[in-house]
Amino acid sequence: DGGITQSPKYLFRKEGQNVTLSCEQNLNHDAMYWYRQDPGQGLRLIYYSQIVNDFQKGDIAEGYSVSREKKESFPLTVTSAQKNPTAFYLCASRRVSTDTQYFGPGTRLTVL
Amino acid sequence: SQQGEEDPQALSIQEGENATMNCSYKTSINNLQWYRQNSGRGLVHLILIRSNEREKHSGRLRVTLDTSKKSSSLLITASRAADTASYFCATDEDRDSSYKLIFGSGTRLLVRP
């Protein structure tokens, strides 16, 4: 899992609530990514950021929001507009000029 | 969108046997990567092969890439129980410089002691 931390490990949310998932990296990587993984499935890209104060939507951005105010941090907010948020969320980072992404340990979000 | 599709979806082998997983993709790529995921954990990068390479080795791993068939294979030799995990291929599309990865749905490997 390298120098990427995600918190909390498990998160429970009531319907209608917004929740924020934390992702911090100490690898000095410029690019950061958020993915969603459903049971038995691959990863789908939610948002990504290649530099501070800039980010782009991925394939499934609806119902999610992000910010990138610091290089080390890329928090993901799951809003009440996300219809089916129960999933495993993975954060990753990448150093510019390389192609490999390094992943955090993940946050499992369950909507009650 | 999911570009890479792995085959088989699940594989069960005896310790010591070789495991082969295949990945197919749809568009031209810069590179193809293989990642491993233990249950409930993050992904770990295994190996990257560029579009101008045909084969690459790393320890017990051997990856091949056939760009004409848009396919790749991952071979794990002399498998161990600790190799039990899900394996994903991911492609870095050639369209732009966003460095987005598109992941397949994975192969779940079980290595029986």
Q: Is B82 helix (H, G, I), strand (E, B) or coil?
A: helix
The pLDDT assigned to B92 comes to 84
What sign has the CA pseudo-torsion A6, A11, A15, A17?
Answer: negative
Q: Is A41 helix (H, G, I), strand (E, B) or coil?
A: coil
Q: What tokens were used for A19?
A: 């929740």
CA neighbor of A109 nearest in space, from A63, A57, A59, A67: A63
The pLDDT assigned to A41 comes to 86
In chain B, pLDDT over 90 holds for what percent of residues? 79
What average pLDDT does the structure give for chain B? Answer: 92
The pLDDT assigned to A40 comes to 84
Residues of chain A contacting B42 with CB distance shorter than 8 Å: 1, 4, 90, 103-106
Quick check: B3 contacting A, CB < 8 Å?
no
CA neighbor of A83 nearest in space, from A109, A65, A67, A62: A62
- In what helix (H) or strand (E) does residue A50 lie, and over which residues does it extend? strand A43-51
Quick check: B88 contacting A, CB < 8 Å?
yes
CA gap B110, B6 in Å, rounded: 15
Q: How confident is the model at residue A106 (pLDDT cuts 50, 70, 90)?
A: very high
Query: Which whole-number Å values give the CA distances from A18 to A4, A82, B5, in the listed order?
Result: 23, 9, 33
Instruction: Tell me the pLDDT tens digit for each residue of B74-105.
Output: 999 999 999 999 999 999 876 666 678 999 99
The residue of chain B with its CA nearest to that of A50 is B98
Q: Closest approach of chain A CAs to the CA of B42, in angstroms?
A: 4
Instruction: Tell me the pLDDT tens digit for each residue of A75-97.
Output: 999 998 888 999 999 999 998 88
Q: How confident is the model at residue B68 (pLDDT cuts 50, 70, 90)?
A: very high
The residue of chain B with its CA nearest to that of A95 is B99
The pLDDT assigned to B53 comes to 97
Contact A106 B42 (CB under 8 A): yes
Question: What are the residue ranges of helices labelled H in chain B?
Answer: none
Query: Which whole-number Å values give the CA distances from A83 to A37, A75, A77, B25, B33, in the listed order?
Result: 15, 20, 14, 29, 31
Instruction: Tell me the pLDDT tens digit for each residue of A8-49.
Output: 999 999 988 999 999 999 999 999 999 999 988 889 999 999
pLDDT value at B1 more than 60 = no
Contact B106 A42 (CB under 8 A): yes
User: In the A/B pair of chains, how many CB contacts fall below 8 A?
Assistant: 65
pLDDT value at B12 more than 90 = yes
Contact B105 A40 (CB under 8 A): yes
Q: What tokens were used for B67?
A: 């760009």
Contact B104 A44 (CB under 8 A): no
CA neighbor of B32 nearest in space, from B108, B101, B105, B109: B101
